[in-house]
Chain A
Amino acid sequence: MINLPTADLHTHSGITGLGAYRPERVVSNDELASRIDSSDQWIRERTGIIERRFATAEEDVVTMGTHAGLEAIRDAKIDPSEIDVVIVATFTHKYQTPSASAEIAHLVGAVNASAFDLGAACAGFTYGIGVSDGLIRSGNAKNILLVGSEKISDFTDFDDRGTAFLFADGAGAAVISATDVQGIGPTVWGADGSSRDAIIMAPDSIAAGLQGVPSMLTMQGQQVFRWAVGSMGEICERALSAANITADDLVAFVPHQANLRITDALIKRLHLPDSVVIARDVTTSGNTSSASIPLALDTLRKSGSVRSGDPVLMIGFGAGLAFAAQVALVP
């Protein structure tokens, strides 16, 4: 049997740039509460969310992702032509094909890039970090633009008392490059399709077309909360252990911004020391699925709460019951 050559291996990979895009329109709890016979206080107590942002009719996954991507490219100080791969994590792109990534690659000027979308919902960004780490260290890429972009307001049932106030729109992006030191720890990840219906777009898109009703995001809140709080703590511990560090070495914890109650319960389970900065971007951004982790990390970085080289623990979790966690160094 012949032995095929590998690409020229890169020894290390790391995050070298970050970008964020938050739509201008701020939506208060009061604006959403009346339709579901609820209140600002009720929403705050159950989610920690004070406000969130919704995109305009003209904005979509591509336009928001392009803004965030361009900022990340500038931050990484590379030319767009140096990007080999554009990955877009999303579940709210309006076309099943072609991909959002091909269009975003074109719009950011990544003329030499391959492009594909990644479907892991709220775990999409940390899945993308794991995939990018592998692509770079295998030699198949040198610079990757990873975007998490979502316009969930298009798929939210504003009459659903369980979800109307949770979801929001936005985009975050990172550039992952071949680097001198390893800036991304091993990814601990998985999925459980036996819980398909826990978070699902219903009805499915074919039935929605036949019946003339929109396909909306639905969630079994108690089931998902129990899974997230009960199982994701161990995944975090495994990611720390795989990175050969302890909670005491950590500068920040950046979980998917699903609900502040999940974050608080995870902190308790992980016994994180008080010195660890906790990302609480959900309070003003809502749950933006694949965009939530890069948006939250960007907030911590711009506020000076984390600095270049600081180790942070990221974990994404959500529909598919897909999850992925890793430690990474702040660019």
Chain B
Amino acid sequence: MSQEDVLAGLAAIVNEVAGIPAESVQMEKSFVDDLDVDSLSMVEVVMACEDKFGVTIPDTEVKNLNTVADAVNYITANK
């Protein structure tokens, strides 16, 4: 799965969980500051990513996922 595919899949999840337009979910965006994804929605995004991409994202890793790029890179590297 390419980075573009992961980004598209993540954008769909963020849209589903937090109601944010998928096209706003771009690599440089911060989940909290730019996309207004709060800490609980972030947990839902992480859980949906685990289901969709078959990765494991431990609690200790969630706090390091600040930007969309952080999440896409983590998923790409660990799936």
Contact = CB atoms under 8 A, between A and B. Distances in A.
Interface stretch (A14-22, A121-129, A218-226, A315-323): A218-226
A243 to B, nearest CB: 27
A225 B62 CA distance: 13
Interface in A171-202: none
A266 to B, nearest CB: 12
Interface in B14-47: 38-40, 42-44, 46-47
Contacts of B40: 46, 221-222, 225, 259, 261
B38 A46 contact: yes
Interface residues of B, number: 10
Contacts of A261: 40
Nearest to A222: B43
Contacts, number: 27
Nearest to A220: B59
A200 to B, nearest CB: 16
A45 B38 contact: yes
A261 B42 CA distance: 12
Given A222-B59, A222-B62, A223-B59, A229 B38 contact: no
Interface string A223-255: 101100110000000000000000000000000
A265 B16 CA distance: 12
A230 B39 contact: no
Contact of A229 (B42, B43, B59): B43
A226 B42 CA distance: 10
B59 A226 contact: yes
B39 A229 contact: no
Nearest to A47: B40
A259 B42 CA distance: 16
A265 B45 CA distance: 12
B42 to A, nearest CB: 7
A221 B39 contact: yes
A229 B46 CA distance: 12
A265 B48 CA distance: 12
12 contacts: A45-B38, A46-B38, A46-B40, A220-B59, A221-B40, A222-B40, A222-B62, A223-B59, A225-B43, A229-B44, A230-B47, A265-B44
Interface of B: 38-40, 42-44, 46-47, 59, 62
Given A46-B40, A225-B43, A226-B46, 9 more contacts: A45-B38, A220-B59, A221-B39, A222-B39, A222-B43, A222-B62, A226-B59, A229-B44, A259-B40
- 8 tightest CB-CB pairs across the interface, nearest first? A226-B43, A223-B59, A225-B43, A261-B40, A222-B43, A225-B40, A222-B39, A230-B47
